[in-house]
Amino acid sequence: MSLNEIIYKFENIVGSSYVIHATEDLIAYEYDGSIDRSLPNIVVIPKNTKQISEILKICYTNQVPVIARGAGTGLSGGAIAQNGGVSIGFSRMTEIIEIDPENHLAIVEPGVINSELSEKVSEYNLYYAPDPSSQQVCTLGGNIAENSGGLHCLKYGVTTNHIIGMEIALSNGDLVWVGDKTRESPGYDLRGIVIGSEGTLALATKLVVRLLKKPETVKTFLAAFKSISDASEVVSQIISSGIIPSAIEMMDKLAISAVESSINPGYPHNAEAILLVEIDGLHEAVIEESKDITQIFKQYDLLELREAQDEKERINLWKGRKGVLGALGHLAPNYYLVDGTIPRTKLVEVLEKINQISKKIKLPIANVLHAGDGNLHPAILFNERNTSERDKALEAGAEILKICVEVGGVLSGEHGIGLEKQEYMPLMFNQSDLKSMSNLIYAFDSPNFNPNKIFPTGKKNITEINQSGIISQSGSEIFI
């Protein structure tokens, strides 16, 4: 079938207004949160599951690549149509189909914006826990593709812990339920397999999400440290003391100076590192845990310990953290953002190594961490026009990822593999591991779903990878 014939068929399914194929119109769909660019041949925006099923049947018959697209905020090139093909946009599938407050559930379409769900269920004193920094714009379908976490996933878990069932569309257009409204549905956990599979196995078309009761009390602390190693030690101490805060976030001096010069949330300028620690739960538990955490803080020579006195102050403290990547633009034209997770007890060691790398390459590295999870986000600052700086940044990023794996960590804590890290996969997995994973594509019969991502192509040496996918120009629309 020719491209024009496919376009014609799609127009019959969704109407011509929702089929985009002129190059000038496709440009809006050539990117995501990374800097990779590639035009799909067609963008089609279905309104419902039936339309998705019909679209997929055509793509399957014609072996056309299918790339699902939520809000395009992903950071690993997951929504990039690097081989062209059909990009399916979910921006019209935004219905909250059912809210079941009695069972703490909702059934939603995948185009629903993450934060909108929490807003809609707020009247029942419920919320949806995974809260990626992009939650004001990112979609739940996109969250499923990347198994998104968020600032509060330390205590409450990531997307896979909060989606209990899904209707999925297979590559041939068949619709299947994996999981349902009950918490323990029978059979292989295909729900768990599809979540985090970056759109390579199936497309989620309806989601059953688990909702949590809003915590009764929330307390947020800002602690400012004279050294980043003190801050790292405190993270380990809090976790090993048996307290699981809802969030422990860390920013180093460079990151602090970036947000202070733009967002100005009132972080101490002279701190080498700050921690934002939030605890929540029943009032009695929060009071006791606050005392214990304060005791831990007091063992260190802090520059400042501040507790948010009201919701306004709390929001302000988080505002700096949430806007940090956009703020890096005040320090350098470009950054190379690394995403890796390490065992939490290795924070001091790894941050010191990152510091040494920064000195070696003579480029500043701003550290922003979901410290409680051991999820690092070093941002190597450089100017892309300076080729030498760019190369050094790339090499440093690779070195940091290798360090993460060497200390028992992993290649990605939350951004996914996508195009960005596919060549790094052999650092963690051998051929057997990768083959077992790629067998899922055969089991799902989905070679045309987001093809040539996640798995190493084998064409490139790791040191020569074109990592444009992880280099971003600083701007306000990027979130970690």
Coil, strand, or helix at residue 378?
Answer: strand
Report residue 58 as tokens.
């055509």
Coil, strand, or helix at residue 42?
Answer: strand
Instruction: Specify the residue, 2 or 430, whose C-beta has the smaller distance to another protein.
Output: 430
Angle between the 311-322 and 253-262 helix axes, to the nearest 10 degrees? 110
Instruction: Specify the residue, 210 or 219, whose C-beta has the smaller distance to another protein.
Output: 210
Instruction: Specify the residue, 195 or 302, whose C-beta has the smaller distance to another protein.
Output: 195
Instruction: Specify the residue, 67 or 178, whose C-beta has the smaller distance to another protein.
Output: 178
CB of 324 to another protein, least distance (A): 18
Instruction: Specify the residue, 93 or 163, whose C-beta has the smaller distance to another protein.
Output: 163
Q: Which residue has the tokens 């999820």?
A: 375
CB of 210 to another protein, least distance (A): 7
CB of 257 to another protein, least distance (A): 27
Cβ-contact 267, 320 below 8 angstroms = yes
Coil, strand, or helix at residue 444?
Answer: coil
> What's the rounded Cα separation, in Å, for the pair 269 and 470?
29
CB of 338 to another protein, least distance (A): 13
CB of 40 to another protein, least distance (A): 24
Q: DSSP letters of 203-236?
A: EEEEEEEE-EEPPSEEEEEEEEES-HHHHHHHHH
Report residue 314 as tokens.
């709390």
Coil, strand, or helix at residue 331?
Answer: coil
Query: Which residues contact residue 140 at a Cβ distance below 8 angstroms, ignoring those fewer than 6 apart?
Result: 70, 108, 110, 111, 112, 113, 114, 117, 207, 209
CB of 370 to another protein, least distance (A): 7
CB of 248 to another protein, least distance (A): 12
CB of 402 to another protein, least distance (A): 14
How many residues are there in the chain? 480
Instruction: Specify the residue, 211 or 254, whose C-beta has the smaller distance to another protein.
Output: 211
Instruction: Specify the residue, 137 or 285, whose C-beta has the smaller distance to another protein.
Output: 285
Instruction: Specify the residue, 97 or 176, whose C-beta has the smaller distance to another protein.
Output: 176
Cβ-contact 125, 146 below 8 angstroms = no
Instruction: Specify the residue, 271 or 337, whose C-beta has the smaller distance to another protein.
Output: 337
CB of 174 to another protein, least distance (A): 7
Cβ-contact 353, 407 below 8 angstroms = no
Cβ-in-10-Å burial (0-12, 13-18, 19+) of 442 comes to: exposed
Residue ranges of alpha helices (H) inside 264-379 are: 283-298, 311-322, 324-327, 347-361
Please report, as a single letter, which amino acid is at residue 150.
Answer: G
CB of 196 to another protein, least distance (A): 5
Instruction: Specify the residue, 41 or 412, whose C-beta has the smaller distance to another protein.
Output: 412
Instruction: Specify the residue, 229 or 383, whose C-beta has the smaller distance to another protein.
Output: 229
Instruction: Specify the residue, 26 or 342, whose C-beta has the smaller distance to another protein.
Output: 342
Using CA atoms, how far residue 305 sits from 57, 221, 267, 276, in Å, is 59, 7, 11, 10
Strands 86-89 and 66-69: parallel
CB of 151 to another protein, least distance (A): 12
> What's the rounded Cα separation, in Å, for the pair 66 and 235?
42
Cβ-contact 55, 87 below 8 angstroms = no
Strands 247-252 and 42-44: unpaired
Cβ-contact 168, 175 below 8 angstroms = yes
Q: Which residue has the tokens 């059909």?
A: 86
CB of 351 to another protein, least distance (A): 16
Cβ-contact 225, 300 below 8 angstroms = yes
